[in-house]
Amino acid sequence: MRFCYVKCLLVAAFSLFSGFIFAQDHGGKTEKPKNESFNANEVIFGHVLDAHEFHFLSYKDGDGKEDDDIANSYFIGKSLGAIYDYTFDGIIQTEDTAFIRQYGGRPGDIKLKDLNNNGKIDPDDRSIIGYTKPNYSLSFSNTLSYKNLELYFMFSTIQGGGKDNYYLASNQFAQNPNTLFAGVANWLDKPYWMPDHPSNTTPRPNYSNTYSYKFSQGHSFIRLQDVILSYQLDNKLLANTPVKNLKVYIAGKNLLTWTKWEGLDPETATTFASVNGFPVMKTVTFGLDVSF
């Protein structure tokens, strides 16, 4: 009965062009193609089949200016990984009657900004609210020795934020738990908006995310990735044994993580209840290193 064949080209061209376009990201910005020559540090567009079709992708719709590609999040002059979404402006409160009259919604819904002031919330009110890319990543390690004791540790961190709001990821399950299980939302302990318990950050429990807002959240983190404490037995004590060298150690992996991300693994932005997601495993190893 069922039969699957070639991926739907039309729809690919319609809603998702990734079949045709590849982009190379070397940390640069999206720029106009310059005389069809491409700098490796800029976004370049190519057609997987034919080079001459570069023309097609040079972004001209006849109005004389280069166009952004919202569907693929390529914005001229902006970094890759732009998140194009509505601007969150708190939660609609019971007393916001003027807002409700103008824009609809109910107390406890999220409040979005009417950026172009046209009196309604529509797709034109979306803008770049941040980026998925990190600002920087860093790791720091050191070994401290005292007599026979040795302590090795390594911290790693990926940081976003800043004025352009880097390193965001969508986190609807945590920010609007109703997205996952409609109608039975309170499976997360959150300060939900309630008439007697107003909140300006978390919508009411059964909010159905009318505008498909992505609820982007920063997932910067600092992690104590490795720590090893070891003790080297004095060789003098081993002089009369066949043992040449003896070391005892205890090693820990991923013991501590500091992050504001509400989910499983901040590094991969894994959300709660994600199908293939796992939290980062903590490991503790005890060891004895003996050589003869």
Partner 1 sequence: MMKRLTYTALFLFLVVFAGCKKDDEFLKETPGDFLTIDNAFLNYAQFKTGLNELYRQVRLDYNNRDNGDDFFHFGSGTDNIFVPVPAGAAFTDWSLINPTRGIFNDVFTRHFQIIYNANNILAQSENPAVSLTDEQKLTVQAEARLFRAYGYRYLSYMFGGVPIIDKPATTPNLAFTRNTRAEVYDFCIKDLEFASANLPTTTSEPGRLVKAAADHYLAEMYIALGDETKNSSLYTKAIEAATRVIDGTDGDYHLMTERFGWRKDVPGKNVFWDMFQMRSPSSQSNYNYQSGNKEAIWVMQIDKFLTGGLNTTLPTRTDQERAFWPSFWALEKFGYSGPARDWMGRGISMVRPTNYFTYYLWNAADSNDMRNSPVNIQRVFYAPDPIINGKEVPNYDTTYKTNVTLFDGSKIVVSLKPGDPIKKEWLTSRQDTMERVFPRVMKMGSDWHYNGDPSNGFAQESYAIRLAETYLVRAEAYMKAGNPDLAAADINVVRDRAGATPVTPGEVNIDYILDERIRELFGEELHTLTLCRLGLLYDRTKRFGQIESQQTVMPKNNLMPIPQAVIDANNQADFPQNPGY
Applying CB under 8 A, the residues found at the interface with partner 1 are 1-6, 8-11, 13-17, 19-20, 47, 53, 56, 59-61, 67-71, 104-106, 121-123, 182-183, 206, 208, 210-212
Closest CB to partner 1 among residues 91, 158: 91
CB of 102 to partner 1, least distance (A): 12
C-alpha torsion angle, residues 41, 47, 53, 55 (rounded to 10): -30
- Shortest distance, position 12 Cβ to partner 1, whole Å: 8
Q: Which is nearer to partner 1, 18 or 39 (CB)?
A: 18
Provide the sign of the torsion angle of the four alpha carbons 111, 112, 113, 117, taken in this order.
negative
Q: Which residues, including other chains, have CB under 8 Å from residue 31's CB and lie 6 or more apart?
A: 42, 43, 76, 77
Q: How far, CA to CA in Å, does 220 sit from each of 17, 160, 256, 266, 283? A: 30, 6, 14, 7, 22
Give min distance, CB of 287 to partner 1, in A: 48
Cβ-based burial of 47 (10 A; exposed 0-12, middle 13-18, buried ≥19): middle
Nearer to partner 1, 104 or 191 (CB): 104
Cβ neighbours around 3 below 10 Å, total: 4
- Minimum Å gap between C-beta 33 and partner 1 is 15
Of 167 and 192, the one with the shorter C-beta distance to partner 1 is: 192
Place of tokens 């916001």: 96
C-alpha 196: how far from chain center: 33
Closer to partner 1 by Cβ: residue 4 or 239: 4
Provide the minimum distance between the beta carbon of 8 and partner 1 in the complex, in angstroms, as a whole number: 5
